[in-house]
A = this chain, B = another copy of it.
Amino acid sequence: MKNKRSKRPLCIGEYLIQRLRKLGIEHIFGVPGDYVLRFYDMLTRSDIEVVGTTREDCAGFAADAYARVKGLGAVCVTYCVGGLSMANSIAGAYAEKSPVVVISGAPGMAQRQRNPLLHHKVREFSTQREVFERITVANTALEDPSRAFEDIDRVLDAAVRYKRPVYIELPQDRVLSVPETRTIRQVSLPGSDGEALAEVLAEATQMLRSAKRAVILAGVEMHRFGLQDELVKLSEQSGIGVAATLLGKSVISEAHPMYVGIYEGAMGRESVRRFVESSDCVLMLGAFMSDINLGINTANLHMGQCISASSEEVRIGHHIYQNVGLGDFVQGLIEAKIRRAKRKRPAVRTKLGAYKVRPKAKITTDRLYKRLNHLLTKNTVIIADIGDALFGAVDLVVRERTEFISPAYYTSMGFAVPAALGAQLARPDLRPVVIVGDGAFQMTGMELSTIAARKLNPIIIVLNNKGYGTERVIWDGPFNDIYDWQYHRITDVLGAGQGFEVSTEAELEQALNAALENTEQFSLLNVHLSVDDHSQALNRLSKRLASQVRPTSGGKK
């Protein structure tokens, strides 16, 4: 394996590893199981490092974060008990366009014929693959060696092209199979349709040139497709300011002079809302128009005045252009050298509000975030779980791009701690600050085990309000209460890390300083918050959600 350029033909397992390595994969996450042990053994002897997690879904979240930071992530698990345990985390990567390669072992082809009831089988041998068909953009089961290399290429190309997860099933008796014929690799990434591109660019530049109050609304695809530099160039050259969606937060440095703020309808800051909604031409670039990005549908944008370009299509007003690449479109806009008079942009809080410790004051959500804003450096990556961990984090000023990671559309609880594992392995120079609710921490927080094993040093802030805080605002009931853990004592179980209990501002100060000082291991802050203490954003958002959950007319259809 180790780059010995032998003439020996590669077997399927070796080819797969070689391709992953060339696509930048240095770590693969997962839990071993008997149907995949042969391939694990091969991985162990390769240049790719196997990172064992406590659970498969955590491997999925870690690989998702790894992909967001590094461009591609991978997991490797066993059949059904392993793969199906990841259905949710891979579905989340699909929804938010994070390219994760799922590799699952499977019973050998010979075994299957002799024994219809092999362990881990659910229904048919194809059941797991059928499930993953629904939550990945391409899939293959490498049953036929003569097609295996081609299938691997096809599926990996799809992950890179569409920035979505793919599924590769590897029967255990195919790992060592050497195909007799080798198909020459056909990379078929069709470019834009030249005529469609010319037409859409003509129309878009015309609209932007005649607009008086244009604005760019940048989304997460600009990050996924590596178009951050182009975004800055387009904005600086044209003089058009850039707002970002919630999912796209930090796609441009929030300290950049052209940055306007996060736009999320009525949920966000009023000045940003007014600036965007008063625009006569909103240029959306790689932005998902999801309900949470749109402030639970409080956004008031007129499609007739919008240009929306994504990896899937370009939409101007009410008509659609297909076969236009997002990168080609942005590049074309840059080359058109549009120049607009600069609009007065709303004051962005790039200057941090002063924070003076009130030692005896009970810590609140609002004060916690104000304090965290001063913690961030160029070497910090913020990883926000959902609920107030996300909504409160919106106002943190991220100084570099790509330093904010959160499942802001799919909003799956429990993403953040395993994501810290993935993000820090992808970028060891960054120190994650993880903000996570107590309910979410109970789901996956024990993945700190792997973080401890690898001596990583994230700072984990547990927002402990004894329950599902977002839901309390929407519809409260006893089901929103959770059993209280001594989260800071997880260090006793893991025999590693520093734990702190924080109730006052003085304790917060002490704990953060100790955490910053100790870069050898993780720190966990168990921050006690009142049950009724929420960020302003959560209050606004939850009220809006509540009105949808309890419509006034609930009765007959």
Chain A residues proximal to chain B, CB less than 8 Å: 11, 32-35, 37-38, 40-41, 44, 50, 52, 54-55, 57, 80-81, 84-85, 87-88, 91-92, 94-95, 108, 110-111, 114-115, 117-123, 127, 130-131, 134-135, 145, 172-178, 180, 288-293, 297, 409-414, 442-444, 446, 449-450, 452-453, 468, 470-471, 474-475, 477-487, 489-490, 492-495, 545, 548-551, 554-557
Contacts and interface: CB of A to CB of B under 8 A. Distances in A.
Contact of A173 (B44, B122, B554): B554
A57 B452 CA distance: 24
Contacts of A484: 495
Given A81-B88, A477-B41, A123 B134 contact: yes
24 contacts: A32-B471, A34-B475, A34-B545, A37-B475, A38-B554, A44-B479, A80-B410, A81-B411, A95-B123, A115-B291, A117-B409, A119-B410, A120-B411, A127-B135, A130-B134, A131-B131, A131-B135, A172-B549, A174-B557, A177-B557, A452-B483, A485-B495, A486-B492, A489-B493
Contacts of A44: 477-479
A115 B548 CA distance: 12
Contacts of A145: 556-557
Contact of A87 (B88, B292, B409): B88
Contact of A453 (B468, B483, B494, B545): B483
A95 B121 contact: yes
A114 B551 CA distance: 15
Given A87-B131, A145-B557, A477-B44, A34 B450 contact: no
A133 to B, nearest CB: 9
Given A115-B297, A122-B135, A130-B134, A479 B288 contact: no
A135 B124 CA distance: 10
Contacts of A452: 483
A449 to B, nearest CB: 5
A38 B475 contact: yes
A119 B409 contact: yes
A123 B94 contact: yes
A479 B134 contact: no
Contacts of A289: 117
Given A35-B549, A127-B134, 7 more contacts: A32-B479, A34-B549, A44-B478, A117-B290, A145-B556, A453-B483, A492-B492
B548 A177 contact: no
A123 B96 CA distance: 10
A32 B323 CA distance: 42
A445 to B, nearest CB: 8
Nearest to A145: B557
Contacts of A293: 117
Contact of A487 (B11, B92, B493): B493
B292 A471 contact: no
Given A37-B549, A41-B477, A290-B118, A483 B450 contact: yes
A35 B114 CA distance: 45
Given A411-B120, A443-B54, A493 B494 contact: no
A292 B119 contact: yes
A413 B50 CA distance: 20
A478 to B, nearest CB: 6
Contacts of A492: 486, 489, 492-493
B119 A411 contact: yes
Contact of A291 (B33, B117, B444, B486): B117
A311 B525 CA distance: 54
Q: Indicate the member of A177, A444, A470, A557 with the most B CB atoms within 10 Å.
A: A557
Contacts of A35: 549
Q: Indicate the member of A121, A481, A485, A494 with the most B CB atoms within 10 Å.
A: A485
A442 B44 CA distance: 23
B479 A52 contact: yes
Contact of A449 (B412, B485, B549): B485
A115 to B, nearest CB: 5
A483 B449 contact: yes
Nearest to A121: B95
Contacts of A468: 32
A333 to B, nearest CB: 25
A119 B542 CA distance: 14
Given A442-B446, A555-B177, A493 B495 contact: no
Contacts of A414: 55
A420 to B, nearest CB: 16
A82 to B, nearest CB: 8
